[in-house]
């Protein structure tokens, strides 16, 4: 499974192919997650986002699932999987069991994923980690859905839940009669998977906060690189 | 490499490891190099000595290859039961002498007309494909290139293209091996003896390239980018970048041909590899330009300097991060080279003594026994040299003005004086009057000499070589004579030998004499290190091994000293 920093992917989606990729360079890092740039990413991607939140040394089953390599294929063509990696490996690269090793040593008391989750559920108690946040759009007013993986103790259990979640999200994306969150919520309820709805809001602000939390914790938000357009 | 005991661990095992790295570097740096064949005398001699050292250590110390080393069969002598292709580790144990043989056989297969190496690599990849699938076969093929088995980049390209084209033709990955071989081989011997069936890669494809195949190609290239970024010294960076740009040469056209609609993310990766491939050409260009003036000096500072200029204009304030992420700049010295500061760490300033003999022959295409000076002679040094004077007299260049012009020509100052001439055309400060007569005279003089040099190019090329050779002999003799004279005070000997080493850091004789002086001065550890370094430069010199044995014995390592003594006798033809 190949991953790339989210910044790279935003820049790639901005690039003018006729003039090589230099035009895709973001000259100001603060400007990276502007509405215009995230819109370009969403247009290039044509799908929804799934952000896996976990602490690599505490949530071992999820960490193992992420580094084992099937997250990309499980996510499919529509779901754009995001997670965080230590900055030292945050270039385009293959993810393997060594990818999180630098990061595994981080203080268990400091948990960037927890901070990101608190940012997502600002006005209410945050659900337990680890988990997956499903996001329809960062620029439109949408409602995120959080699926906790706290009950999954083995990599097989994590993979099984994630596959259902990604399948549900893909189906919901392809339907337009009701909101994305309603579709996902209904299907997850049918599948017996508990979830929390995050309330309607713009998630651009949350992504900016998440990127800052990642940076402050020597890590970077990365995405699984899909190979075919 | 690993051993079953510690008997050769002090000095000889490290030498064996360097010899294996040197042999690997022949393939890594010599991809497509026309001047290098396995039959090159110095290379054959080095391989021969390495083979003897490996065999001795295999016998005495149970030497075997470390885990994770890829290998490919050879038809001359292949151990029964060993798979024809794969990686060492677990039950797969490979002796370094067998690995060495297979290196030489693989290189030789590339020199046969028409070359047969591509077929061998394809059969090896098919074995891996049969055992572990197509993605593993792709990674294995690129690993063979990374570890120096490949001489012709076309071979790797042929194998990758054949595997991927076949994957698209057949209905299922398990049909790839029968597509080439008729049926899957049941035993290693069956694979090695198999003839390739008549296969048609022009057959229309039935399915697209698989995700696993694309991912294997891209991952191998990205992993190599990481290796190059994580290099811990200039040798690693240079050889790693050579392999990286070659990997990019394979991966880019194959993906462009077989992936009809790459994603945005994949396109970004391909763009990055395209830039890195171009960087490979840039690095070769810098090496070529500096090959006569500063042959072993690191090309990283000018290379990174060029990148910093490009990236600053393209990426704005964030350019440093982008330079490190997008290009293969080594993290260890990225801050220094991107800030265009001087590299202080000797490990990054120049090619090491380990790689120098191979680099000389394979990259600079010079005789490894040449006495390569770390910098050219200056005009003043040429004019002051008796040896140069004799060369001038023999060439009938007696006039002092002519000698000055020739000395400036040989030292490279003539080109600089051309720049001075250019400077004289630049606008002067207000009120400053051009000295017309002086400039006219200078111009006339220069034009006359330029014509002389242009009309007699071959003559001056020969004179250049003769003067340089004569001056090197004069300089080394002058400095080494007191250094090897035991009657001289040790301080003088140390000073003179240090001066020779500073100018000729890759000259085995100078390294060896420095070892003798260090040992005589009581610094036995330094002496031992220098004897090892002399052996790295010329492993076939019996005297160097003998001195190593003496130094080991003096240090209390009598068992290892005996091994060194036996190798010395073997090289001297006394065994």
Residue B523 is assigned to a structural domain of this protein: yes
Residues with Cβ within 8 Å of residue A199, at least 6 apart in sequence: A123, A143
Confidence band for B426, pLDDT divided at 50, 70 and 90 = very low
Residues of the domain holding A40:
2-224
- On whether residue A95 sits in a domain, the answer given is yes
Is A93 in Cβ contact with B225 (below 8 Å)?
Answer: yes
Q: Which of residues 364-423 of B touch A (CB under 8 A)?
A: none
What is the rounded CA–CA span in Å between residue B295 and residue B350?
A: 9
Question: What is the structure's pLDDT at A19?
Answer: 44
Q: How far apart are CA A27 and CA A31, in angstroms?
A: 8
pLDDT-wise least confident of A16-25, B226-235, B246-255, B478-487: A16-25
Residue A24 has pLDDT above 80, yes or no: no
Residues B453 and B528 reside in one and the same domain: no
Q: What is the DSSP letter of B346?
A: H
Interface test with B, best of A41, A67, A92, A220 (most B CBs within 10 A): A92
| Residue B418 pLDDT > 60 | no
Residue B329 lies in a domain: yes
Residues B381 and B343 in one domain: no
B512 & B392 share domain:
no
* Residue A229 belongs to a domain: no
Q: Is A201 on the interface with B (CB under 8 A)?
A: no
Q: Which of A12, A223, A228 has its CB closest to that of B261?
A: A228
CB-CB neighbours of B401 under 10 Å: 9
Interface test with B, best of A13, A223, A227, A229 (most B CBs within 10 A): A227
Min mean pLDDT across A102-111, B46-55, B212-221 is at: A102-111
- Select the residue of B229, B262, B322 nearest A229 (Cβ to Cβ): B262
A180 found inside a domain = yes
DSSP chain A: -EEEEHHHHHHHHH--GGG-GGGG--S-GGGTT-HHHHHHHHHHH-SEEEEEE--TTTSHHHHHHHHHT-HHHHHTTTEEEEEEEEGGG-SSEE--TTTTTTTTTS-TT--HHHHHHHHHTTTSPPPPSSEEEEES-SSSEE--EEEE-TT--SHHHHHHHHHHHHHHHHHHHH--SS-HHHHHHHHHHHHT---EE--SEESHHHHHHHHHHHHHTTEEEEEEPP-B-
User: How many C-beta neighbours within 10 Å does residue A103 have?
Assistant: 21
Residues with Cβ within 8 Å of B456's Cβ and at least 6 positions away in sequence, in order, are none
B517 in a domain, yes or no? yes
Average pLDDT, chain B: 89
Considering only CA atoms, which of B553, B489, B542, B543 is closest in space to residue B513?
B543
pLDDT at position B441: 63
Q: Which two tokens stand for residue B240?
A: 């790693």
Q: Answer whether A212 touches B (CB < 8 Å).
A: no
β-bridge mates for residue A85, sequence order: A220
- Burial of B352-386, coded b for 16+ CB within 10 Å and e otherwise, reads bbbbbbbbbbbbbebebebbbbbebbebeebbebe
How many domains does chain A divide into? Answer: 1
Are residue B279 and residue B323 in the same domain, yes or no? Answer: yes
> CA–CA separation, B448 vs B481, rounded Å?
42
Number of helical H runs and strand E runs in chain B: 27, 2
Q: Has residue B104 been placed in a domain?
A: no
Flag whether pLDDT at B32 surpasses 80. no
Statement to judge: residues B465 and B514 lie in one domain: no
Is the same domain home to B226 and B320?
yes
Same domain, B552 and B566: yes
Angle B108-B111-B117 from CA coordinates, rounded to 5°: 70
Please spell the DSSP secondary structure of B263-284, one letter per residue.
-HHHHHHHHHHHHHHHHHHHHH
Report pLDDT for B317. 74
- Which tokens sit at A192? 């017996």
Beta bridge partners of B46: none
| CB proximity list for A61: less than 8 A, separation 6 or greater | A149, A152, A153, A154, A155, A157, A158
Chain-centroid distance, C-alpha B227: 16
For residue B285, being part of any structural domain is answered with yes
A108 at B interface, C-beta within 8 A: no
Q: Among all chains, which residue has been given the structure tokens 């171009």?
A: B278
Give the C-alpha separation, A162 to A147, whole Å. Answer: 9
Asked if residues A158 and A62 have their Cβ atoms less than 8 Å apart, the reply is yes
pLDDT band, residue A113 (cuts 50/70/90): very high
Domain annotation covers residue B9: no
Shared domain for B221 and B342, answered yes or no, is yes
pLDDT in tens, B136-188: 999 999 999 999 999 899 999 999 999 999 999 999 999 999 999 998 898 99
Do B337 and B233 share a structural domain? yes
B317 touches chain A (CB under 8 A): yes
- Residue reference for tokens 């402050």: A216
CB-based contact (8 Å) between B68 and chain A? Answer: no
**B121 falls within a domain:** no
**Predicted local distance difference test score (pLDDT) of residue B153:** 92
- Given a cut of 50, is residue B419 above it in pLDDT? no
CB A103 within 8 A of CB A85: yes
CA nearest neighbour of A129 among A83, A181, A89, A164: A83
Contacts of A228 in chain B (CB under 8 A): 211, 214, 259, 261-263, 266
Q: What is the pLDDT of residue A202?
A: 81
Integer Cα distance of B334 and B304 in angstroms: 8
One domain for residues B225 and B263: yes
Give whole-number Cα distances, B1 to B16, B66, B96, B343, in Å.
8, 5, 8, 31
Domain limits for position B240: 208-290+298-349
CB atoms within 10 A of CB B438: 10
pLDDT at res. B434: 54
Our CA angle for A55, A61, A62, nearest 5°, is: 55
Domain match, B530 and B398 both: no
Q: What average pLDDT does the segment A77-84 reach? A: 92
- Is A120 within a domain? yes
For residues B322 and B402, state if they share a domain. Answer: no
Interface contact flag, B263 A29, Cβ < 8 Å? no
Domain containing residue B551: CATH number: 1.25.40.10
**Structure-block tokens of residue B151:** 């001489």
Distance CA B473, CA B465 (A): 12
- Nearest-CA residue of chain A relative to B263? A229
Tokens standing for residue A161: 């839940």
Total number of domains in chain B: 3
DSSP string, B22-54: HHHHHHHH-TT-TT--TT-HHHHHHHHHHHHHH
Q: Is the pLDDT of residue B329 over 90?
A: yes
Taking the C-alpha atoms of residue B35 and residue B447, their distance in angstroms, rounded to an integer, is 38
Q: Give this complex's ipTM.
A: 0.83
Helix (H, G, I), strand (E, B) or coil at B18: helix
pLDDT band at B463 (very low <50, low <70, confident <90, very high): very high
Mutate to test the interface with A, among B264, B266, B273, B276 (most CBs of A within 10 A): B264
Residue B28 CA to residue B245 CA, distance in Å, equals 11
Share of residues in chain B with pLDDT > 90 (%)? 65
CA B215/CA A95 separation, integer angstroms: 11
Q: A47 — contact with chain B (CB < 8 Å)?
A: no
pLDDT of residue B219: 95
**Which residues of B fall within a CB distance of 8 Å from A28?**
316-318
Give the pLDDT confidence score for residue B533 in this predicted structure.
Answer: 96
pTM for this predicted structure: 0.87
- The mean pLDDT of chain A is 85
User: pLDDT band for position B295 (50/70/90)?
Assistant: confident
Which of B226, B269, B315 lies closest to A27 in CB terms? B315
In this structure, is residue B77 part of a structural domain?
Answer: no
Q: Does the distance separating the beta carbons of B264 and A17 come in below 8 Å?
A: no
| Interchain CB contacts (distance < 8 Å): A and B | 101
Question: Could you count the other beta carbons within 10 Å of the beta carbon of residue A92?
Answer: 24
Question: Which of B460, B348, B354, B351 is closest to B402 using CA atoms?
Answer: B460
Q: Look at residue A17 in the predicted model and tell me its pLDDT.
A: 55
């Amino acid at each position: 499974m190949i991953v790339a920093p989210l910044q790279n992917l935003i820049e790639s989606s901005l690039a003018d192919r006729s003039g090589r990729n230099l035009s895709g360079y973001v000259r100001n890092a603060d400007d990276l997650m502007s509405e215009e740039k995230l819109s370009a990413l969403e247009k290039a991607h044509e799908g929804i986002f799934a952000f896996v939140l976990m602490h690599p040394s505490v949530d071992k089953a999820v960490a193992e699932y992420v580094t084992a390599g099937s997250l990309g294929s499980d996510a499919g063509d529509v779901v754009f999987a995001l997670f965080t990696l230590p900055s030292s490996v945050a270039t385009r690269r293959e993810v393997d069991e060594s990818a999180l090793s630098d990061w595994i040593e981080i203080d268990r008391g400091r948990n960037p994923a927890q901070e990101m989750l608190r940012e997502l559920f600002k006005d209410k108690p945050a659900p337990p980690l680890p988990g997956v946040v499903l996001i329809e759009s960062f620029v439109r007013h949408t409602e995120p859905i959080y699926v906790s993986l706290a009950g999954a103790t083995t990599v097989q259990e994590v993979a099984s839940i994630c596959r259902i979640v990604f399948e549900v999200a893909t189906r919901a994306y392809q339907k337009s009669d009701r909101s994305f969150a309603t579709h996902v919520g209904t299907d997850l309820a049918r599948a017996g998977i508990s979830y929390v709805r995050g309330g309607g809001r713009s998630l651009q602000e949350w992504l900016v906060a998440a990127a800052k939390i990642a940076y402050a914790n020597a890590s970077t938000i990365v995405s699984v690189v899909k190979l075919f357009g | 490499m690993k051993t079953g005991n510690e008997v050769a661990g002090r000095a000889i095992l490290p030498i064996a490891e360097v010899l294996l790295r040197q042999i690997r570097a022949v393939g890594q740096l010599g991809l497509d190099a026309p001047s290098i064949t396995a039959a090159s005398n110095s290379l054959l001699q080095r391989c021969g000595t390495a083979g003897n050292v490996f065999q001795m250590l295999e016998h005495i110390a149970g030497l075997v290859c470390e885990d994770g080393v890829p290998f490919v069969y050879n038809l001359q002598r292949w151990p029964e039961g060993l798979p024809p292709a794969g990686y060492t580790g677990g039950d797969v144990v490979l002796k370094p002498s067998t690995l060495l043989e297979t290196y030489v056989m693989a290189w030789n297969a590339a020199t046969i007309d028409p070359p047969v190496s591509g077929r061998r690599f394809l059969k090896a990849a098919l074995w891996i494909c049969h055992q572990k699938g197509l993605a593993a076969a792709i990674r294995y093929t690129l690993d063979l290139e990374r570890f120096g088995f490949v001489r012709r980049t076309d071979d790797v390209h042929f194998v990758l293209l054949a595997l991927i084209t076949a994957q698209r033709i057949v209905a299922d990955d398990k049909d790839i091996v029968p597509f080439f071989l008729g049926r899957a081989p049941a035993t290693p011997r069956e694979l090695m003896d198999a003839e390739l069936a008549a296969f048609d890669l022009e057959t229309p494809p039935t399915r697209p390239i698989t995700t696993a195949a694309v991912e294997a190609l891209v991952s191998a290239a990205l992993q190599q980018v990481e290796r190059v970024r994580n290099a811990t010294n200039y040798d690693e960076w240079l050889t790693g970048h050579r392999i990286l740009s070659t990997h990019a040469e394979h991966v880019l056209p194959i993906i462009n041909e077989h992936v009809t609609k790459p994603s945005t993310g994949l396109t970004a990766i391909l763009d990055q590899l395209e830039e890195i491939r171009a960087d490979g050409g840039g690095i070769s260009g810098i090496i070529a330009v500096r090959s006569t003036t500063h042959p072993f000096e690191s090309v990283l500072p000018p290379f990174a300097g060029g990148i910093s200029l490009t990236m600053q204009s393209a990426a704005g304030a964030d350019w440093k991060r982008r330079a490190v992420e997008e290009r293969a700049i080594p993290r260890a010295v990225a801050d220094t080279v991107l800030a265009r500061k001087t590299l202080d760490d000797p490990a990054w300033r120049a090619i090491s003594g380990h790689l120098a003999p191979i680099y000389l022959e394979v990259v600079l295409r010079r005789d490894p026994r040449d006495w390569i000076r770390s910098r050219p002679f200056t005009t003043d040094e040429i004019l002051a040299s008796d040896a140069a004077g004799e060369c001038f007299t023999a060439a009938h260049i007696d006039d002092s003005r002519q000698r000055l012009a020739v000395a400036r020509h040989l030292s490279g100052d003539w080109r600089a004086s051309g720049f001075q001439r250019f400077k004289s055309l630049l606008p002067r400060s207000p009120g400053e009057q051009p000295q017309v007569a002086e400039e006219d005279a200078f111009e006339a003089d220069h034009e006359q000499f330029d014509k002389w040099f242009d009309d007699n190019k071959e003559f001056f090329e020969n004179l250049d070589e003769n003067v340089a050779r004569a001056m090197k002999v004069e300089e080394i003799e002058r400095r080494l004579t007191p250094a090897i004279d035991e009657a001289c005070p040790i301080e003088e000997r140390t000073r003179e030998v240090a001066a020779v080493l500073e100018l000729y850091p890759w000259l085995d004789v100078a390294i060896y004499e420095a070892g003798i002086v260090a040992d005589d001065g009581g610094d036995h550890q330094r002496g031992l290190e220098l004897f090892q370094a002399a052996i790295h430069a010329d492993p076939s010199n019996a005297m160097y091994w003998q001195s190593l044995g003496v130094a080991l014995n003096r240090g209390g390592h009598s068992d290892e000293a005996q091994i060194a003594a036996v190798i010395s006798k073997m090289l001297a033809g006394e065994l």
